[in-house]
């Protein structure tokens, strides 16, 4: 089969996928918290505003974007590895939908960072606190889908 060579790399692909997911999730959990601080403390203080903008930009560009890309690349490689996924089960589609939602959330955070940089943020801290729960719910769905495979 065309993708049989991926079976040889499976342990490494899975390892790199897990490391990328951990890095991505760390950023996805932290960036909304930075936004809460930015809304509540940083805007009135130019020094804090500049520091928070730098932290947000570096977190997104240096950690989150590469980790998201690596998560997708290694995830696709795992999905193409023969014998790993039962395509007749529901769990791979639940995982894929949840990863798609995480990707949307990532881009939503990226747009909010641009709003802060432009001085046009209108989202209150409470909304960022509530949105910070979204990746937790998606992470629970993904882990249950992968480990338990209940459906």
pLDDT, tens only, 71-123 = 999 999 999 999 889 999 999 999 999 999 999 999 999 999 999 999 999 99
Half-sphere exposure of 60 (CA within 13 A, CB side): 21
**Of residues 2 and 23, more confidently modeled:** 23
Query: Is the per-residue pLDDT at 11 higher than 90?
Result: yes
Tokens of 17: 């996928």
Question: Which pTM does this prediction carry?
Answer: 0.90
Confidence of residue 47 (pLDDT cuts 50, 70, 90): confident
Rounded to a whole number of angstroms, the CA Rg of the chain reads 18
- Is there a contact between 28 and 64 (Cβ–Cβ < 8 Å)? yes
pLDDT at 43: 72
Confidence of residue 6 (pLDDT cuts 50, 70, 90): confident
Query: Is the per-residue pLDDT at 46 higher than 90?
Result: no
Residue whose token pair is 């395509």? 87
Report how far apart, in Å, the C-alpha atoms of 65 and of each of 4, 6, 148 are: 29, 25, 29
């Amino acid at each position: 089969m065309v993708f049989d060579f991926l079976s040889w790399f499976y342990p490494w692909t899975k390892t790199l996928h897990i490391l990328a997911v951990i890095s991505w999730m760390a950023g996805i959990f932290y960036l909304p918290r930075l936004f809460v601080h930015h809304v509540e403390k940083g805007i009135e203080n130019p020094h804090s505003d500049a520091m928070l903008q730098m932290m947000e930009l570096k977190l997104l560009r240096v950690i989150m974007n590469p980790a998201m890309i690596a998560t997708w690349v290694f995830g696709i490689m795992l999905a193409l590895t023969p014998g790993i996924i039962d395509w007749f089960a529901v769990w791979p589609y639940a995982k894929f939908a949840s990863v798609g939602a995480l990707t949307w959330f990532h881009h939503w955070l990226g747009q909010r960072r641009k709003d802060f940089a432009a001085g046009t943020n209108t989202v209150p801290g409470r909304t960022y606190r509530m949105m910070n729960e979204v990746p937790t719910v998606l992470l629970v769905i993904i882990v249950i889908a992968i480990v338990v495979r209940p459906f």
